[in-house]
Structure 1
Amino acid sequence: MVDFGEFLQYIKEQEYYDKQISYIEHIPKKVAHFGTLKKPLRKRLQRWLNENKIELWGHQAEAINNIREGKNTVVVTSTASGKSLCYNLSVLQTILDDDSNSTALYLFPTKALARDQYFVLSKLMSDMNIKTERVGVYDGDVEPYEKRQILANANVIITNPYGLHFYLPWFKQKWSRICKNLKYIVLDEIHIYRGIFGSNFSLLLRRLKRILETYSIKPIWILSSATINNAKEFAEKLVGEEFVVINKDDSPSGAKKVILWDLPYDEISHKYRSAHQETKNLYVSHLKKGIQTLTFTLSRKMAELQAIWTRQTLSQLRDRIVSYRAGISKQKRREIEQDFKNKRLLGISSTNALELGIDIGSLDATICSGFPGTISSFKQQIGRSGRGEEVSISTLIPMANPLDFFYVHNPEILFGPIKEEVLITQNNKYILKNHLCCASKEIPIKIDDYQKFGIEKKEFFIKCLKELVKDSLLMKRGDRYYWKGDFFPNEKFGLSNLSDRTFKVILRREGREEFLTAEDESYVFRDLHHGAIYLYEAETYIVEELDNEEKKVYIAKADVDFYTQSLKHTEITPIEILSQKNTGPNNKIEAFFGNVKVEHEYYSYKVIDTLTQEIRDRIPLLDIPIVEFETHSVWFLIPYELQKELELNDYDLGGTVHAIEHAMIAMSPTLAQISRWDLGGLSIDFDPVKQQPIIYIYDAFRGGIGISESLYYNLMELLELTYKLIKSCNCGEPNGCPACIMSPKCGNNNEPLDKKGALFILKKLLAI
């Protein structure tokens, strides 16, 4: 058991300590509350619970009761709260009741998690004397013979979204037994399904439902998630069915101390101390005191480096310190998980691969080396420690960026109610058209199918179908649309893709070339230009050649200690105003939401040191075509009288609106589960049409995915958060710093910026 007071004193005595502990959140111990099932379980299920001394917690009993009443159910509770038992007991009860005919489809977001849950369910079934061949993993790693056996005999099929997308055309041919008897569809970790991936997944589920309708099958949906905002609305938008929500967590947990660790700022060098070095120092201190610790990093490279540095410092413990990431073998992963669970390992540095529900037992402490992007993920990570009932420690060490520092400096928001909205859309025409191609290959499409795809406007659906006919991808026969293309759409249109304007990414290796993946055109010009460092499934590659005519990118494996970021000039033109309003105190802010045309001209890229974040070089980009696309944007005007007042106080107008634009984009992830890279922005100190300063924030994806629309409706809250960010930053620089108003993707090299001017205008806009 960790003595927190003693450990805290120990940390403060270390040479590296310079008052970095800015705040400690005390999360009290939580006692268990138990529930009762309305109907008893089968004897062998209840016997297993009794033998393992398991009494169902209240939320588990409530979830199982709802599922057994035929209600679609989403369970939204903390890490280690027994969510998987809710669906496993429900499914096994039905299989035993229905004389082995019933089937269930389990979908997990990653192969690793699918495999882990397969072992959990197999062990559960074995303990209950249920044949383990009744469950099987069906994915690309399974041999054809084994796949045939699974489809012939298994009651529970476990796969992932990418596999399902590829297998759907054969459902009526090969999966007929599964479909005819399908009682349940289980979706785990649904908070992962956001943005482009989530929007694609939502349409994939609607394609699955179309196929099941041909069998007159309407399964019960069981969803589970980390704590998210408005789970009912999100689940219903994701699946297109009504849900009941179970979000009262009755599981026990020990007290937790969460430390927020600020980075010291050097007034002479104008730099923050390295977050990676701070992580290493704290990690070493944990292990020296015998505290079993899981350190989360933001990249595979850093997971490996933290393990190397820590082993070098603690040579006597080197055999008990490892890194964990995607890319290591399944056998090695399983070995690490078991050794950590059995306390043979003392420290693991990991990517977010261990954030999800992989069982590694209870541990003493976690370190988050960088905020993981969303509060849901942060709570998942800190929930990994203290999975018993003893006191545990978690520490957040920020990277030198605005979002990380904002949460460290504003703990009441970090530990307050989650406001992040999980955003998906079915109304991006590029994504929808991809799925219409795939769906037509599975079952011909009728115009009246528009609601089955989650589309509200029939005219929009018809327009997409007509465009596909014009492109010779669909053909119309009578009242139905059939696939006409000369390629396999499920292979070409991936779940991470936005449109059909894609480039093939080709890996060159030992004189051979092999297809690796496909990437959207807009992403290619930004991140796959010549010389770019490309990350794919946690492996690092360097771009050797970009062939724009053949739509191919050639890459090679690379073990490097730097990464790249492209720089661009942006032009934006409003096309259509969809909504407008006057908002703010006295309604002085004129705001708009609508369609815009964006033009990007990529002109150079930065080479950045992974460890120090220093810019090593700037290299010009040649022969990159101007990228044009239509998307959604929110934009608003700075009132004329405030412009005059700003200039009278000798603030820089261009630097002021530029700083506000950067900070607003940096703060947008507090309101939606996105990255700031999902947005673009443009600030204009004098718009020739409106003759006022104007700030645009737009979805960085062709067609938009709903981000800027959400920001439009929450504009005042976003401006308040923007003000808090800038005001709470410790730097005294007139042009700010990377923790407040500087942006790593600014095409103008963060010039001009006026921090005081931004605070002046924001105070006026918010009437503070």
Structure 2
Amino acid sequence: MSLLSLLFHWRADASFAPNVTAWKRIPAREGQYAPIPEDLTLALRQSLWGKGGRHTALVTGTASGKTLAYNLPVLDYLLKNPAGRALYLFPTKALAHDQLAEIREMTSVTAAAYDGDTAGHIRAKVRANAQLVVTNPDMLHMGILPHHPQWEAFFSQLRFIIIDEMHVYRGVFGSHVANVIRRLKRVAAFYGAEVQFMLTSATIGNPHELAHTLIEEPVTVITEDGSARGEKHFLIYNPPLTDEKLGLRVGVREESIRVTSDLLSYNVQTILFGRSRRSVEWMLQRLRDKWPGKAGDIRAYRSGYLPQQRREIEAGLRQGEVRAVIATTALELGIDIGGIDAAILAGYPGTIAGTWQQAGRAGRSEDASLSILVASANPLDQFLAHHPDYFFQRSPEHALLDPNNLLILLDHIRCAAFELPFQAGDSYGNLSHAQTTEFLDVLQQTGDIHHSAEKYFWMSDTYPS
């Protein structure tokens, strides 16, 4: 039995087909290929990073090869220049460790993670020896930039900064991250480093604006996707009515379990996205109750699990031992979980971009794949179920952020002053010298900094995190 057999069955199933409000078939696409360049370093650096050191943003679909696109030039450079250094920023520790494992399989470059899970006795070795460090914005803010003198050897040779999944950095969180990057650039410049950024993102409405706002540098955006893709079926499914007069329907979790159970009966490896940790655990138990003989093949994945548990589940998915996983958005990002055949979304994630991101977790090979959005009773879900063209014809939302929000900006100027004294004439981010001086004067009045000999020095006893 196969996915296509199940789809054929569903089309004729009186308990399923009437509830499908949209069935969109996205045809397969052949890949575009090119020969491997003989001189890998020169060719990759010119084609992927741009001539003259341009910063680049890759904005293409899931499983389109974005990771390989930045790994090849960075790893090739580090192999040929052992003193060089690279910094990879990921939004989550799980994604960072997943990519670290992939890097270690590819090359002999000394790569290491530096985050909250890194043991204290290992951190000094990472600072001294790692050519490539993977971390996250929180650790960069709290554990690296405030202690940059310990990272002098690393920052002085820093050549590349990779910012993966940049579409995550929006709103208040993105505004904080943009300021952390400002401080990172300031510290790197202090040690004489000339860094080159490369950013990646799922499809969003304003990739150039977002990339430019994050790094405040001219950015070349690449959106052409030449990766091969199998046929994809995308269904919007509205659970059946239980009370037509009141408009009551079967619950989204119950119906998502039923759909997932059908997929399991056809041996289709499936990921089921829940909206909360509680709903994930509830659906896990219900699905295991339906399949008591396969309880070990059905797992949950969410924040709060130990790193070892998460790695075990990820490996089980890649190897095909785990046939169904119920997950929160913790598995929405690009963690390698192999060739999942079907993705079930128990409720609308809230954005068109987020919906395509979760749906894209299925179909990471050239085989046919399936994504189903199961509508909840939420009015927005019901609107999409009754007007599916609105969803399919709309472009993904814009990712917006405001690094110059006064409260956010003032806090990060405090952090920047702690890390390095401001000199007269300095500017911060895209602020003018005069605007920066106004903020410094405010901090001087509050007693946080002291102005002496054309410099502004941090005066407080604690780190202003």
Aligned to 1:469: 444
Q: Secondary structure at the match of 2:284?
A: helix
1:33-432 to structure 2, matched below 5 A, reads: 33-35=32-34, 40-41=39-40, 65-67=47-49, 69=51, 70-98=53-81, 100-125=82-107, 130=108, 134-166=110-142, 167-171=144-148, 173-264=149-240, 266-416=243-393, 418-432=395-409
1:645-656 to structure 2, matched below 5 A, reads: none
CA distance in 2, matches of 1:434, 1:332: 36
CA distance in 2, matches of 1:285, 1:301: 23
Q: Is the contact made by 2:167 and 2:201 (CA closer than 8 Å) also made in structure 1?
A: yes
Query: Once the two structures are aligned, what percentage of the paired residues are identical?
Result: 34
Q: Is the contact made by 1:366 and 1:393 (CA closer than 8 Å) also made in structure 2?
A: yes
1:518-667 to structure 2, matched below 5 A, reads: none
Q: Is the contact made by 1:33 and 1:251 (CA closer than 8 Å) also made in structure 2?
A: yes
Amino acid across the alignment from 1:96 = L
Structure 1 residues 6 and 213, CA, compared in 2 at 3 Å: closer, same or farther?
Answer: closer
Structure 1 residues 395 and 482, CA, compared in 2 at 3 Å: closer, same or farther?
Answer: same
Give deviations 1:375-419, integer Å, cap 9, x for gaps.
222222111112111111110012322333333333333223524
> What is the CA distance between 1:454 and its match in structure 2?
2.3
Aligned to 1:32: 31
Q: Is the contact made by 1:37 and 1:64 (CA closer than 8 Å) also made in structure 2?
A: no
Aligned to 1:640: none
> What is the CA distance between 1:334 and its match in structure 2?
1.5
CA distance in 2, matches of 1:328, 1:221: 32
Q: Is the contact made by 1:64 and 1:86 (CA closer than 8 Å) also made in structure 2?
A: no
My pick for the range that moved more, 260-269 or 307-316, is: 260-269
Give deviations 1:164-189, integer Å, cap 9, x for gaps.
10120211x11111111111001111
> What is the CA distance between 1:446 and its match in structure 2?
4.2
Structure 1 residues 3 and 207, CA, compared in 2 at 3 Å: closer, same or farther?
Answer: closer
Give deviations 1:303-334, integer Å, cap 9, x for gaps.
11111101111223222111111111222211
Q: Secondary structure at the match of 2:95?
A: helix
> What is the CA distance between 1:280 and its match in structure 2?
1.4
Aligned to 1:678: none
Structure 1 residues 154 and 193, CA, compared in 2 at 3 Å: closer, same or farther?
Answer: same
Larger helix proportion of the pair: 2
CA distance in 1, matches of 2:17, 2:329: 29
CA distance in 2, matches of 1:296, 1:302: 9
Amino acid across the alignment from 1:426 = P
Q: CA RMSD, aligned part only?
A: 2.3
Q: Is the contact made by 1:469 and 1:475 (CA closer than 8 Å) also made in structure 2?
A: yes
CA distance in 2, matches of 1:64, 1:379: 31
Aligned to 1:580: none
Give deviations 1:660-704, integer Å, cap 9, x for gaps.
xxxxxxxxxxxxxxxxxxxxxxxxxxxxxxxxxxxxxxxxxxxxx
1:491-502 to structure 2, matched below 5 A, reads: none
Q: Secondary structure at the match of 2:355?
A: helix
Structure 1 residues 237 and 206, CA, compared in 2 at 3 Å: closer, same or farther?
Answer: same
Structure 1 residue runs without a partner (length 5+): 44-60, 491-768
CA distance in 2, matches of 1:404, 1:85: 36
Q: Is the contact made by 2:11 and 2:17 (CA closer than 8 Å) also made in structure 1?
A: no
CA distance in 2, matches of 1:34, 1:415: 29
Specify which structure has the bigger relative contact order, considering alpha-carbon pairs within 8 angstroms and separated by 6 or more residues: 2
Higher alpha-carbon Rg? 1
Q: Secondary structure at the match of 1:449?
A: coil
Structure 1 residues 37 and 449, CA, compared in 2 at 3 Å: closer, same or farther?
Answer: farther
Q: Is the contact made by 2:6 and 2:266 (CA closer than 8 Å) also made in structure 1?
A: no
> What is the CA distance between 1:428 and its match in structure 2?
0.8
Amino acid across the alignment from 1:337 = E
Aligned to 2:413: 436
Give deviations 1:617-637, integer Å, cap 9, x for gaps.
xxxxxxxxxxxxxxxxxxxxx
CA distance in 2, matches of 1:145, 1:417: 51
Give deviations 1:272-315, integer Å, cap 9, x for gaps.
43111111111112112222111011111111111110111122
> What is the CA distance between 1:11 and its match in structure 2?
6.9
* TM-score, normalised by the number of residues in structure 2: 0.93
Aligned to 1:489: 464
Larger strand proportion of the pair: 1
Q: Secondary structure at the match of 1:191?
A: helix
Q: Is the contact made by 2:104 and 2:111 (CA closer than 8 Å) also made in structure 1?
A: yes
Q: Is the contact made by 2:59 and 2:223 (CA closer than 8 Å) also made in structure 1?
A: yes
CA distance in 2, matches of 1:238, 1:206: 8
CA distance in 1, matches of 2:424, 2:350: 40
Q: Secondary structure at the match of 1:286?
A: helix
Amino acid across the alignment from 1:468 = L
Structure 2 residue runs without a partner (length 5+): none
Give deviations 1:728-748, integer Å, cap 9, x for gaps.
xxxxxxxxxxxxxxxxxxxxx
Q: Secondary structure at the match of 2:440?
A: helix
CA distance in 1, matches of 2:424, 2:2: 63
Q: Is the contact made by 2:57 and 2:201 (CA closer than 8 Å) also made in structure 1?
A: yes
Q: Is the contact made by 1:367 and 1:395 (CA closer than 8 Å) also made in structure 2?
A: yes
Structure 1 residues 30 and 92, CA, compared in 2 at 3 Å: closer, same or farther?
Answer: same
Give deviations 1:334-365, integer Å, cap 9, x for gaps.
12112222222211111111111111110221
Q: Is the contact made by 1:63 and 1:86 (CA closer than 8 Å) also made in structure 2?
A: no
CA distance in 2, matches of 1:220, 1:362: 32
Structure 1 residues 68 and 37, CA, compared in 2 at 3 Å: closer, same or farther?
Answer: farther
Give deviations 1:189-209, integer Å, cap 9, x for gaps.
111101111000001101111
Q: Is the contact made by 2:284 and 2:300 (CA closer than 8 Å) also made in structure 1?
A: yes
> What is the CA distance between 1:101 and its match in structure 2?
0.8
Q: Is the contact made by 2:263 and 2:269 (CA closer than 8 Å) also made in structure 1?
A: yes
